[in-house]
Amino acid sequence: MAVTRKRGWIRMAKKEEKVRAPDVEVEDRGLTRRDVLKMGGAAALAVAAASVPKDAALAQAKQAAGRRLAMVIDTERCTGCHACAVACKAEYDVPLGVWRSWVVAEDRGQFPDARRVFLPRLCNQCDNPPCVPVCPTGATIQREDGAVTINEADCIGCGRCVAACPYDARYLNPDSEMAQKCDFCVHRIDQGVTPACVNTCPANARIFGDVNDSNSDVSALAGGASVRVLKPELGTDPQVFYIATEELPEGDLPR
């Protein structure tokens, strides 16, 4: 499957990542820009880019109204390595026993034609989310760009949203008893940085961006032929799109 990767806002975000990387004591080392450029290479570009002011990055990131965040997961690329699952655990210090993102592996076929499919899972950030209306305090909301988030200050830990989600995407934190789930790493994307899982995936199997932007990779891929979503019959309108040539596994939690 040859896909020409088009430039979209997330490519911009990746560049911002590079911008953030040299956010270290270059000055303290007494290095001048010239010294660094003498060292040569792509690294110099990154340092030069560091002079792009943060505001500009933010402006670029929030470019359009009508932006709809979505993720495409290419299961043909996914190797089931769990880097995304562990990156997510680290990013949010998720306690043991609960998950915001996890990977399911399922064996199929009969020897010698055995095969294995991988299914990375996370909150589907549904366009018609069943979890939002059941929240008694309004702690869980759907942002304008579609990300479904939880304001823990208002959460009373009643658990109705956990029960309402048909995808096991939510949990009550065993220690704080707050409802929690994947929120598309809004604290990163609002700063123009890719979600943790997207950043780490060695197979580049997670593609993230604005599905309403016709120039984005996400919009190109989400409309492709072998695209599936989980439990479409429920009418939740998931915004996580799976590229898969065969049926998706159940996607159960790791326990």
Partner 1 sequence: MKTGAEERSRIYGLLAHVYYHEPDARFLKSFMEPAFLATLEGIGIDLGEYFRERSTEALVEELAVEYTRLFLGPGKHIYPYESAYRSEEDPRGRDAGGEVRNLIQASGLDYAPDYRDAPDHISIQLEFMEKLTEAEGRAWEHEDTDTATGYLEIERRFLRDHLAQWVSEFSERVAANARTSLYREMAVLTREFVLADADAVEESIEEVRTPGGS
Partner 2 sequence: MVKLTRRSLMKLGVACAAVLAGAERALGQGLALTGTLKLVDGGMDFSPVTGKERKIVPSACWQCVARDAILCYVEDGKLVKIEGNPESIRNRGKICAKGQAGLNQVYDPDRILYPMKRVGKRGDGEWKRVSWDEALDEVTARLKALLDEGHPEKFMFHYGRMKGSDSKIVKDAFLKAYGTGTVGNHTSICEAAKWTAQELTWGKHYDVNDVEHANMILNFGCNIMEAHTSHLQLSQRTIGAVADRGVKLVTFDVRLSNTGAKSDEWIPIKPGTDGAVILAMANVVMDEGLYDADFIDTWTNVSVAELTDHLRQYTPEWAEGISGVPASKIRSLAIEYANAKPGTLVSYRGAVAHYNGVDTERAAKMLDAILGYIDVRGGTCRGVGAKWKYPKVSGSTAKLKILDGLEGDAALPTHHISHRVLDAIKEGSHGRPDVYMTYCYEPVYANGDVQENIDILKDESLIPYHVSINPFYTESSALADIILPDVTYLERWSWDDMVSYDMIPEFYIRQPVLPAPGATRQFQDVCCELATRLGLELGFESAEDFIRQSCEKSGLDFGYMTSHGVWHDADAKPKYKAYAKELTPEDYTGEKILFDEATGVYWDWTKSKAKTKEEAEEKGYTAMKYAYKGYVGQKIGDKVYAGFKPDKLNKSGFFEISSDFMAKKGFSALPTFMAIPEHEAMGADDLILTTYKVNVQIHTRSQNCKWLTEIYHSNPAWINPATAAKKGIADGDRIRVTSPIGEIVTTARVTDAVHPQVIAISHHLGHFEYGEFASGNKAATGHECVPDCHNKWWSEVGVHPNWIIPNAPDPVAGQLRFNDTVVQVTKA
- Applying CB under 8 A, which residues contact partner 1? 174-177
CA pair distance 81, 68, nearest whole angstrom: 28
Helix or strand run (H / E) with residue 104: strand 102-108
Which is closer to partner 2, CB of 116 or CB of 231? 116
Nearer to partner 2, 84 or 150 (CB): 84
Binding of partner 2 at residue 33 (CB under 8 A)?
no
Among 71, 87, 162, 185, binds partner 2 (CB under 8 A): 87
Torsion angle, alpha carbons of 191, 75, 90, 138, to 10: 60
The burial of 201, by beta-carbon neighbours within 10 Å (0-12 exposed, 13-18 middle, 19 or more buried), is given as buried
- 102 Rama class: left (phi>0) / alpha (psi -120 to 50) / beta: beta
Select from partner 2, partner 1, none the partner in contact with residue 3, using the beta carbon and a kind-dependent cut-off of 5 to 8 Å.
partner 2
34 binds partner 2 (CB under 8 A): no
**Positions that interact with partner 2 (CB under 8 A):** 1-3, 14, 17-18, 20-26, 29-31, 35-36, 39-44, 46, 74, 76-77, 79-83, 85-87, 89-91, 93, 95-97, 105, 107, 109-112, 114-118, 174-175, 196, 199-205, 254-255
